[in-house]
Amino acid sequence: MGGPMNARRTAWAVAASLTLLSGCGGGGSGEPVSLDAAQTRAVLPDAASVPGWEATVEPVAYPLEKATRLGLARCFKDAEQDSCSRVRFIGGSGFHQQRKPVVSFIVQTYRDPATARAAYGTVWKMWKRWIPASKAMAVGELGDQRNAVVGPGASAVKGSKGLMILVREGSVIMLSMADSGKYVDMPDSFLTRFADVFAQRAEEAQAGKAPSAGIEASP
């Protein structure tokens, strides 16, 4: 295992690794549906939902077994916990814009909300560990569960900054990440609107709708 700096870079580069890959179920009213691979991919923010941003990673999603085989799954395991336990599909997408932070998204879907709720704490434990010296950050009432931290950026260069927000909406757990360099301004509130759109898209998909939520184009 590499040192702390390499570990942090690995965590923040998860979505970037998806560039090595190429990539409908219905629904109804009532309880959230369990998403298939196509619906999981549709939950991820895409170019249409983040206008003005260039996709570095087009949305992709795979069953856990394939995601693990391809090196996409980032799982924390110890004697009692496995952050990928009972995950059905894992996917990701990523975006950048000149003189803006790099933004990445990762999604994990489960059979039902109860399974996702039981997994949430372990999933957050796994991701949070990649940002040493982080501090909790308020992001409002996103989804059914949420946690957020701010800390050093992936480069570990003084002045860089990283944001991470984990949200559960029904049977879907979503990670949003933003990374800025030393000379790129990024307020703590920067990532919240992206995470909110991500959660809205998960809610739409679980209601049997085609996800359509997006952010407004930057002026």
Distance CA 46, CA 146 (A): 22
Tell me the pTM: 0.84
In this structure, is residue 53 part of a structural domain?
yes
Over residues 88-109, the pLDDT tens digits come to: 999 999 999 999 999 999 999 9
In this structure, is residue 211 part of a structural domain?
no
Which pLDDT value is given to residue 150? Answer: 94
- Measured in whole angstroms, the distance separating CA 31 from the mean position of its chain's CA atoms is 23
Range of the structural domain that residue 54 is part of: 4-19+34-206
In this structure, is residue 29 part of a structural domain?
no
Distance CA 93, CA 10 (A): 16
Query: Which CATH number does the domain housing residue 156 bear?
Result: 3.40.1000.70
Distance CA 198, CA 94 (A): 12
**Residue for token pair 């000149």:** 98
In this structure, is residue 192 part of a structural domain?
yes
Number of structural domains found in the chain? 1
Over residues 111-156, the pLDDT tens digits come to: 999 999 999 999 998 888 877 788 999 999 999 999 999 998 877 7
Phi, psi dihedral angles at 90 (to 5 degrees): -130, 135
Q: For residue 44, give the nearest of 33, 57, 31, 53 by alpha carbon.
A: 57
In this structure, is residue 11 part of a structural domain?
yes
Evaluate if residue 12 carries a pLDDT over 90: no
List Cα–Cα distances, 84 to 91, 93, 100, 109, in angstroms: 13, 19, 31, 10
Residue 28 token pair: 């109804």
Evaluate if residue 22 carries a pLDDT over 60: no
In this structure, is residue 218 part of a structural domain?
no
Phi, psi dihedral angles at 43 (to 5 degrees): -65, -35
pLDDT band at 219 (very low <50, low <70, confident <90, very high): very low
Over residues 177-201, the pLDDT tens digits come to: 999 988 899 999 999 999 999 999 9
One-letter amino acid for residue 106 of the chain? I
Evaluate if residue 33 carries a pLDDT over 80: no
In this structure, is residue 28 part of a structural domain?
no
In this structure, is residue 84 part of a structural domain?
yes
Which pLDDT value is given to residue 158? Answer: 83
